Amino acid sequence: MEAEIRTLIDISGTPAARHGMADMMLERARWAATAFARYDRDATMAIVDAVAARAHDHSAHFAEAVVQETGFGVAAHKKIKNELTARPLVDFYRDQDFVNARVDETRKIVEIPRPAGVIFALTPSTNPIATLHFKVLLALMTRNAIVISPHPAAREASTEAARALSEAAVAAGAPEAVIQIIENPSIPVVEAFMTSPRTNVILATGGTAMVRAAYSSSNPAIGVGPGNAPVLVDASADIADAARHIVASKSFDNSVLCTNESVLITTPEAETQLRRALKSAGAYLCEEEEVDRLRRFLFHARGFNIEAIGRDATWIAQECGIRVPSSTKILVAPITQIGVDEPLSREKLCPVLAFHVARGREQALGQARAVLRLSGAGHSAAIHARDEAMVMRYAAMVEAYRVVVNAPCSQGAAGFATNLAPTFTIGTGFFGRSSIGENVGPQHLVHWTRIAHNSDADEPFGNYRGLGPDFRGPLPPAPADGVPGQTRPQPPASAAPLAGGIDGPTRDELRRLIAEELRDLMRK
């Protein structure tokens, strides 16, 4: 599969041409980052607010464009995600200062912010515009330049969106080339950017293979792993509320968020009431023979059926020959075990929810832990319960760094239905073999130089208040190659189109590219 996909999308010419293009873009980004580091906070936030406003205003347009281009998801839900990663994201961090020095007179320490410089950012096919908004705004809040590599399946919409944000940034006073995007992404091109010494940090959101490539690139990387969130409905929960939250979460954008609930676990005490509540909330509970049909449709000899990604529940049911009401929001598939022998206990980026009844609380806790050990370690988990001791036991048992309580997990783990930091890059920490266990934010794109004075009380400290960047502009224009007086290799005059003809790849080829992004999920 991997060799086949590499052949499909290796369209970037010779290695020298690929590295020449990477060098040119990264040098221009380096120039922009160097200039941007001189900006004061008012000038920085003026740029951030202008870009957030542009992102918000175009949210509906790009939601429609992405659904049309990729073929999956719900435009109305993507619009919500695009908006949440614009102004609300900026407002969440507005009171945090990533520009001015921090002065601690008591400890006699001054901390000076040092932006990363040039960020190379990968965006996925499942949430391309929201992730693009998120990463661009994080970069701008911390005075970094960013080069974006969009997923090929969402290339056209992502390129248009990045250009719009770049225009807004420059109009507000940002250095030219502070936001750039690779218009014809391919694996060799991505590798050239990842391994370049001109890249300061890689911000990777995508499949496990790409994230591991980022970590092995020799450059600093912030990567995230796959999800497979268990949700436990305890007998102490408000069962009706739990069912409503779970169905709303699992059906949101046809379940393409990696934070969505994957396996629902409960106990015999709650089973009957929960089944009724799920039906009332819009779920269809499959019979045993229908579960078999679902299993065969979603998982086959080559792995997960990528045609199901982001499709709605009624479409999946029709493909399986299952008759469901037209109002059905999700399909619930009862299973008798959790583990490698039950593929439905793995992540499913579609509105199909596995449903398992444990013998009691202890087994339910163990089964929830097993879900994450099967896939999704370090990512997310959810629980519906009013028993605080049970919530604490669950959180201590599951190997996840965010546990959502009595809320939809899709939105809650990402910080949009809880007070967690809003994010579209979920850190999976030590459990998931990632460098960060919290929701990724701007604080991860800036480090601090610490000026430490003699701790002796008799030694004076001095007055550092008000000292820092005071740039108001204007900037000189960016040189064409990023380095004044130095010539850099130029890209080919006309890049070859993506495989599939002059009009770009076919839908089948795009779905094969998505398979690479989600390769671990495709295995048996």
Residues annotated as part of the active site: 258
- Residue 7: per-residue pLDDT: 28
My answer on whether 180 and 278 are in the same domain is no
Give yes or no for a contact between 259 and 414, defined as CB atoms under 8 angstroms apart. Answer: yes
Interatomic CA distance for residues 147 and 162, integer angstroms: 10
In a domain, 434, yes or no: no
My answer on whether 340 and 382 are in the same domain is yes
Q: Looking at the 3D structure of the chain, how many domains does it have? A: 2
In a domain, 183, yes or no: yes
Q: For 431, which DSSP code?
A: T
Give yes or no for a contact between 230 and 375, defined as CB atoms under 8 angstroms apart. Answer: no
Tell which of 447, 473, 492 closes a domain.
447
My answer on whether 193 and 141 are in the same domain is yes
Give yes or no for a contact between 393 and 245, defined as CB atoms under 8 angstroms apart. Answer: no
Give yes or no for a contact between 373 and 228, defined as CB atoms under 8 angstroms apart. Answer: no
My answer on whether 258 and 200 are in the same domain is no
CA neighbor of 309 nearest in space, from 507, 95, 28, 39: 507
My answer on whether 219 and 234 are in the same domain is no
What are the start-end ranges of the H helices in 325-448?
A: 361-374, 388-397, 409-412
Containing domain of residue 75, as a range? 2-87+118-224+440-447
CATH, residue 30: 3.40.605.10
Residues counted in the chain:
524
Copy the structure tokens of residue 195. 């391994």
Identify each DSSP E strand in 63-197 by its residue range. 102-104, 109-115, 118-122, 145-149, 179-181
Give yes or no for a contact between 123 and 148, defined as CB atoms under 8 angstroms apart. Answer: yes
My answer on whether 269 and 332 are in the same domain is yes
- Residue 206: per-residue pLDDT: 63
My answer on whether 60 and 133 are in the same domain is yes
Q: What is the pTM of this model?
A: 0.86
Interatomic CA distance for residues 277 and 384, integer angstroms: 14
- Residue 475: per-residue pLDDT: 66
Torsions phi, psi for 262 (to 5 deg): -105, -45
Terminal-residue alpha carbon distance, the chain:
14
For residue 94, CA distances in Å to 62, 90, 422 come to: 25, 6, 13
Tell which of 397, 426, 447 closes a domain.
447
Copy the structure tokens of residue 377. 């370690």
Give yes or no for a contact between 187 and 174, defined as CB atoms under 8 angstroms apart. Answer: no
CB atoms within 10 A of CB 314: 18
My answer on whether 294 and 378 are in the same domain is yes
In a domain, 482, yes or no: no
Buried b (16+ CB within 10 A) or exposed e, 211-235: bebbbebebebbbbbbbbbbbbbbb
In a domain, 452, yes or no: no
CA neighbor of 52 nearest in space, from 182, 175, 140, 153: 140
Q: What is the mean pLDDT of each run of 10 residues along the chain (524 residues)?
A: 32 61 92 94 96 98 96 94 96 96 94 97 92 97 97 94 97 95 89 93 77 79 86 98 98 93 98 98 98 94 86 96 97 96 93 97 97 93 98 97 97 93 91 89 96 93 86 64 44 33 41 46 36
The vertex-35 CA angle with 29 and 40, nearest 5°, equals 130
In a domain, 93, yes or no: no
In a domain, 520, yes or no: no
* Rg, C-alpha atoms of the chain: 24
Give yes or no for a contact between 427 and 403, defined as CB atoms under 8 angstroms apart. Answer: no
My answer on whether 180 and 273 are in the same domain is no
